[in-house]
Amino acid sequence: MANNIGWNFDNSYTRLPSSFYSCLPLNRVQAPKLVILNEAVAESLGLDTRALQRPESIEILAGNEVPSGAIPLAQAYAGHQFGHFNMLGDGRALLLGEQMTPTGERYDIGLKGSGRTPYSRGGDGRAALGPMLREYIISEAMYALGIPTSRSLAVVTTGETIIRETELPGAILTRVASSHLRVGTFQYVAQWGTDEELQILADYAIERHFPTIDQTQPNRYLSLLQEVMERQAKLIAQWQLVGFIHGVMNTDNMTISGETIDYGPCAFMDTYNPATVFSSIDRQGRYAYGNQPPIGGWNISRFAETLLPLIHNNEEEAVILAQEVIQQYPQLYYTNWLAGMRAKLGIFNEEEQDAKLVEELLTLMEKYDADYTNTFRALTFTKCEGTDLFNSAEFTNWYEQWQARREKQEESEAASQQLMRDNNPAIIPRNHRVEEALEAAVTHGDYRVMEKLLQALSQPFAHTSNQEEYATLPAPSNCPYQTFCGT
């Protein structure tokens, strides 16, 4: 059956020390049903999309059967959750193994919502349909926006209900990622493992994600820290540039690969405000939009701490070397972010005044409660009218400065506008549109709304007429929008 479908599993994680994971039996579900399949992802993995829709394949996607060559396991890891260190692990996820694609790439194939594990900490290990569809939508939107992300292969319903505040239909998501190695994985081994096990994990991460780090380098673990930091700085800058708010930037949700992962209470910002928080559990705003860049640096510091025994056998010297690396993070992030903002404003070259120009625009957007995505979209097509921001004298003054700045570059007006078209999405997964799709699917079993939304989100920079309806803002509400982690 595996050959007919295209599964081609390796299990390199099982060749690591056994304390890193727990091999598990499956937690079967009653009546699995495939509700959505990502054919593009399936094809990239070398899988037969028709075969994936057969009953025997759905049993695999539901966690009822083990595909040939797979060794299901739950990974152990730790993490700082809202600043507090805890022992964690895959509490409701199962790693089936690593799919080797026809082009030789390696991807983790995991089931989310597959049942209890030794790391469930009293939870049921299950997931509801709504949050799994939400992860599917948002991860695919992020991919289309060009942001590194895990992806979703499929969602199946289980035929069972789970209890949260109410009874909800159960579901399992099949997640695809370059790996599930996290900062929290290193924290777990650093806290409860040996230095030898820590080195094994670091070497594994280098081999899997950073093969250009040479074995002969004088300090390859310092290079590992540098590489992970650079990827995270770039990733978080990309989040900020599209108004994405992760919601739970705990160290166990921060990947070594530099991919966005664990889409729980995430959402996209409408009105520009750095203090924006959607997550119901982030009561102090630790992971607010404006706090994401410094939290990224805080998480990198926690990663650096785990590597100290490998960086140098003298702890004081190791700290000095690590600090020399991580102190680069703020500038790395800012350089990525400012470059992205220049592109959003159609600016090719660099001038010192650019940062001030960007900050003044953002200050005005916050003052006039301007929509983040639509403001840049309007600038792209010079349709700056009809809002309090665009009607203000302050904006008129800023606009004149912006036009003068663009005249200081060799590129044509047409090239500048194309740069803006390529960097300012016409569409993001607006929260009210996501909720509309989830309501139709979960409550009424109607997936047409979701499929239409996914189609529109698949080409965010197309700027076509059929995307217009998704640019409209939600109706005013006295109830702030909240998202929930699904557990």
Q: Return the DSSP state at 409.
A: S
Q: Which long-range contacts (CB under 8 A, 24 or more apart) does 441-448 make?
A: 441/35, 441/129, 441/130, 441/133, 442/129, 442/130, 442/133, 442/168, 442/169, 447/35, 447/36
Residue 120 burial (10 A CB sphere; 0-12, 13-18, 19+)? middle
Nearest by Cα to 59 from 176, 154, 178: 154
DSSP 367-378: HTT-BHHHHHHH
Q: Establish whether 252 is a catalytic residue.
A: yes
Contact indicator for 242, 430 with CB cutoff of 8 Å:
no
Q: How far apart are CA 183 and CA 163, in angstroms?
A: 31
> Pairing relation of β-strands 106-112 and 167-177?
antiparallel
Question: What 3-state class would DSSP assign to 176?
Answer: strand
Q: Could you tell me which residues come within 8 angstroms of residue 16 by beta carbon, excluding any fewer than 6 positions away?
A: 200, 201, 204
Q: Return the DSSP state at 75.
A: E
- Catalytic site residue from 108, 252, 270, 371: 252
Q: How far apart are CA 121 and CA 382, in angstroms?
A: 54
β-strand partners of 260 = 149
Amino acid at 448: R
In what helix (H) or strand (E) does residue 175 lie, and over which residues does it extend? strand 167-177
Contact indicator for 109, 103 with CB cutoff of 8 Å:
no
Q: How far apart are CA 417 and CA 424, in angstroms?
A: 10
Contact indicator for 251, 302 with CB cutoff of 8 Å:
yes
Residue given tokens 């040996």 in the structure block: 194
> Pairing relation of β-strands 127-128 and 167-177?
antiparallel
Q: How far apart are CA 44 and CA 40, in angstroms?
A: 6
Which residues participate in catalysis according to the annotation?
252
